[in-house]
Amino acid sequence: MVTVGFIGFGIMGSPMATNLAKAGFDVVGFNRTPERVGALASVGITLATSIEALVRASDVIITMLPDSPDVESVALGESGVFAHAAPGLLFVDMSTIRPDVAAHLAKEAASRGIDALDAPVSGGEAGAIEGSLSIMAGGSSQAFERARPYFEAMGRTIVHVGPPGSGQTVKAANQLMVAANLQGLAEAVVFLEAYGVDMVPALEVLGGGLASSTVLQRKSTNMLERSFAPGFRLSLFTKDMGIIQAAAREKGVTLLLGSLVAQTIASLVARGDGDLDHSAMIRVVDELSK
């Protein structure tokens, strides 16, 4: 039986690993805070005491971590995955990190005979629990085909978008579009409220025309109720805006809207709203208005 080594049991990683176990894979976990993995024993996920032990037990390693330095440390650190990997290992990072870091990891992996993919996801906690994530993978076609059975246990729209780093590039574009759609919705809601329009029918008719979006369908209730339990935290969203701004600068691409939303999101995090859902972007519009 194939053994999947899974590293990173946060809001996203825990349900993703659970879906792998439910699909019949033998899942071994490693987490910097082992208590979290312990709670997954009920679905048959066991715990390794070190990355070394995890790598020796696994045919594939999947990581789901907060940020680029976390992935670099887990993959390239002295007691990390690559230090203990035998040639032929499949390494799939599903975190959202910098495209250049993903490309660098793929290069390091290749020099050791490891097949690497960057395969970030969209769809949030709900998509992770339902197994309906969108998965955007960068790397070789061969590595993508090897990873497909695992992706199918976690996601619904599974696409190979190009060479190493491409998955992260597409994810960065995804986050930019989500931020644009959220900011547009937030400004529309505050504007309509100021005019005393009936909001429920208004949002219904906006959802029936060219203004419709998944953000409108999923996030307008949070905005109307000013209820911002995460969901997807602004502290992670501001990290993602940093990723796309740096990546755009690198290629000489100017993102006017990208800069604006990066600033509004950063301002919320700076004043202590980092643990709120990203629908809290409406707070900036509220506070700049009467």
Residues annotated catalytic, as ranges: 171
Position 194 contacts a copy of itself (CB under 8 A):
yes
Which stretch, 48-56, 72-80, 81-89, 200-208, contacts a copy of itself (CB under 8 A)?
A: 200-208
Work out how close the CB of 253 gets to a copy of itself at its nearest, in angstroms, rounded to a whole number: 4
Position 11 contacts a copy of itself (CB under 8 A):
no
Per-residue mark of binding to a copy of itself, 77-106 (x: CB under 8 A): ----------------------x-------
Which stretch, 47-55, 65-73, 106-114, 159-167, contacts a copy of itself (CB under 8 A)?
A: 159-167
DSSP line for 78-128: TTSHHHHPPTT-EEEE-S---HHHHHHHHHHHHHTT-EEEE--EESHHHHH
CA–CA gap between residue 282 and residue 194 (Å, rounded): 14
CA–CA gap between residue 7 and residue 37 (Å, rounded): 10
CA–CA gap between residue 217 and residue 204 (Å, rounded): 9
In the region spanning residues 127 to 146, those forming contacts with a copy of itself, defined by CB under 8 A, are 127, 133-136
What sign does the dihedral 126-171-86-141 (CA atoms) show? positive
Position 181 contacts a copy of itself (CB under 8 A):
yes
Which stretch, 47-55, 68-76, 106-114, 182-190, contacts a copy of itself (CB under 8 A)?
A: 182-190
Return the number of other C-beta atoms located less than 10 Å from residue 195's C-beta: 7
Return the number of other C-beta atoms located less than 10 Å from residue 270's C-beta: 10
Position 242 contacts a copy of itself (CB under 8 A):
no
Residue closer to a copy of itself by CB (options 45, 284) is 284
Residue closer to a copy of itself by CB (options 83, 173) is 173
* Phi, psi (rounded to 5 degrees) for 81: -65, -50
